[in-house]
Amino acid sequence: MALVGPQERETDSGIEIRPVYHGDDLADFDEARDLGEPGQYPFTRGVYDSMYRGRLWTMRQYAGFGTAEATNERFRFLLAAGQTGLSCAFDLPTQMGYDSDHVRAEGEVGRVGVAISSLEDMRLLLAQLPLSDVTTSMTINATASTLLLFYQLVGEEQGVSAKHLRGTIQNDILKEYISRGTYIYPPRPSMRLVVDTFAYCEKEMPNWNTISISGYHIREAGSTAVQEVAFTLADGVAYVEAALSAGLAIDDFAPRLSFFFNAHNNLFEEVAKYRAARRLWARIMRERFHAQKPASWMLRFHTQTAGSTLTAQQPENNLIRVTLQALAATLGGTQSLHTNSFDEALGLPTEHAARLALRTQQVIGYETGIADTVDPLAGSYFIETLTTQIAERAQVYLDAIDEMGGAVAAIEAGYPQREIENAAYEYARSIDQGERIVVGLNRFTDEGDVSADVFPFDLERQKLQVARVRDIKSRRDANAVRVALDDVATAARGSANLLYPMKIALSRLATLGEVADALRGPFGEYHPH
């Protein structure tokens, strides 16, 4: 919360905060006065009528580093500690479509996530994990379809039908151009891959969430809460329009759309943000796209606490930040949650820190009582006013993007990128000038800050991964792989669904990088202006 003057305060999005709120403040906001019920349109109060009284949110801790074996070990550690869903981070080469033995992967293999180059890597990643019972989220975008197919192939090898596999791929390529940068192809062919994945999963993997439309990285890049809602929903609109243009029926694919939001520091603005996003999306899906199923109107979302708010100074303070951010997410009605470890400003989470992060969720879920009633902050004059103000300000952005021709055209024109850059500059300036207090960073600093243990990076594991990729390439049927990759490139030059030839190629031990290269030829690579 920014302090503007002795008596003036505003949220991080610049919304004025009054000293006190009254019932009369809701007079101009019809939707704030007539909230409806949880589980009913417009879902301001939550997408399910019982919410956490029926079942707590999925506690899905994000993990991934080094080799598939190392990450599998961390997954099993977290499941044994009570985690209820898996969430996988991939290293930069995997995200960018390069095998671990590629020259551009050197120094990055397994550093910020797990390295997955082949079907054999995925087998090791998922070994002894109960794929029939657990849901798995994979934070992957440009190569999302490839990782999904690896997962399907391993699931089928384990005897789990593709129709019974449950999880989510992020698969949100538009936000990569806006805020993150792990893209391969230009926006329009990338959108084709997204839509082909929608169509493939409708037929082959009906219980899989085909996209997690992500505001998280938009917020991490420096956006305000309002911009996070607006640009995320604008991307969602673009995906819906692309799917409709490809001939998919709205009520066939919309129920499998999901979202991914940030949980930042301003507790009440964050709660209001989630409620506003649900309301806006329900209106978009029912009134703009004329979806008929209530499941198509629901904005279901995963939340992660804000990595950008964590400090290397006094790292234990991050435990308090993460707890309050997690409280905002759960008060706001998230469907699943990742809580960051307190040491992540220093390196990958240690087991000790990862366990504490999971325990944070468990304490909130089982000891605080917030799960005892649905939407416990409903009716608060402040929360309802703020919810409506965020929705109205986000709608202004949505209208502006529509006037530009939609999210893809706006991205190509650099509009959301500029808006986020301006917001990020103002946020950083306010910290530098002491207008915004960050405990331990620009106020209440200590001479002898307590440091945390840093997760050790194992170079030998990187070498092991590179050797494994080279071994696979040396002993597979090279001719069968070449024919399959040619089929992928041929499909890319035409209009057939790409995932079917891709699956054949991957089953023959074509690598992730080779499939990406087969598409680079017809699609080209994206180079920002």
Check residue 28 and give its pLDDT.
62
Confidence of residue 33 (pLDDT cuts 50, 70, 90): low
Confidence of residue 32 (pLDDT cuts 50, 70, 90): low
- Give the Cα separation of 55 and 82 in Å (integer): 15
pLDDT per position as a tens digit, 138-175: 999 999 999 999 999 999 999 999 999 999 999 999 99
Record the tokens describing residue 123, joined without a space: 């087998």
Whether the predicted pLDDT of 3 surpasses 50: no
Whether the predicted pLDDT of 465 surpasses 80: yes
- Give the Cα separation of 77 and 57 in Å (integer): 20
Among the listed residues 247, 239, 105, 249, the one whose alpha carbon sits nearest the alpha carbon of residue 173: 239
Whether the predicted pLDDT of 5 surpasses 60: no
Are the beta carbons of 238 and 407 closer than 8 angstroms?
A: yes
Q: How far lies 16's CA from each of 9, 12, 469, in Å? A: 6, 10, 56
Confidence of residue 447 (pLDDT cuts 50, 70, 90): confident
The region, left, alpha or beta by phi > 0 then psi within -120 to 50, assigned to residue 39 is: left
- Give the Cα separation of 316 and 345 in Å (integer): 11
Check residue 451 and give its pLDDT.
63
Beta bridge partners of 87: 62, 137
Angle CA 446–451–348, to nearest 5: 140
Report, as an integer, the average pLDDT of 61-73. Answer: 92
pLDDT per position as a tens digit, 478-528: 999 999 999 999 999 999 999 999 999 999 999 999 999 999 999 999 998
Report, as an integer, the average pLDDT of 269-278. Answer: 98
Check residue 426 and give its pLDDT.
97
Confidence of residue 462 (pLDDT cuts 50, 70, 90): confident
- Give the Cα separation of 446 and 7 in Å (integer): 30
3-state secondary structure of 48: coil
- Give the Cα separation of 182 and 108 in Å (integer): 14
**Helices 187-204, 225-245: inter-axial angle, 10-degree rounding:** 70
Check residue 461 and give its pLDDT.
82
Check residue 450 and give its pLDDT.
57
Pairing mode, if any, of strands 211-214 and 2-3? unpaired
Confidence of residue 7 (pLDDT cuts 50, 70, 90): low
Share of the chain above pLDDT 70, in %: 96
Share of the chain above pLDDT 90, in %: 90
- Give the Cα separation of 511 and 478 in Å (integer): 12
Report, as an integer, the average pLDDT of 54-63. Answer: 92
Are the beta carbons of 505 and 488 closer than 8 angstroms?
A: yes
Q: How far lies 221's CA from each of 1, 13, 47, 50, in Å? A: 18, 14, 28, 34
Domains of the chain: 2-374+381-432 (3.20.20.240)
Q: Report the b/e string of 294-325 with b at 16+ CB within 10 A.
A: bebbbbbbbbbbbbebbbbbbbebbbebbbbb
Check residue 84 and give its pLDDT.
86
Record the tokens describing residue 514, joined without a space: 């080779």
Report, as an integer, the average pLDDT of 254-265. Answer: 96
Whether the predicted pLDDT of 4 surpasses 50: no
Among the listed residues 63, 13, 153, 43, the one whose alpha carbon sits nearest the alpha carbon of residue 358: 63
Check residue 467 and give its pLDDT.
96
Q: How far lies 385's CA from each of 21, 31, 394, in Å? A: 9, 10, 14
Are the beta carbons of 323 and 276 closer than 8 angstroms?
A: no
Report, as an integer, the average pLDDT of 267-293. Answer: 98
Check residue 31 and give its pLDDT.
63
Whether the predicted pLDDT of 6 surpasses 70: no
Are the beta carbons of 261 and 277 closer than 8 angstroms?
A: yes
Record the tokens describing residue 318, joined without a space: 């991050």
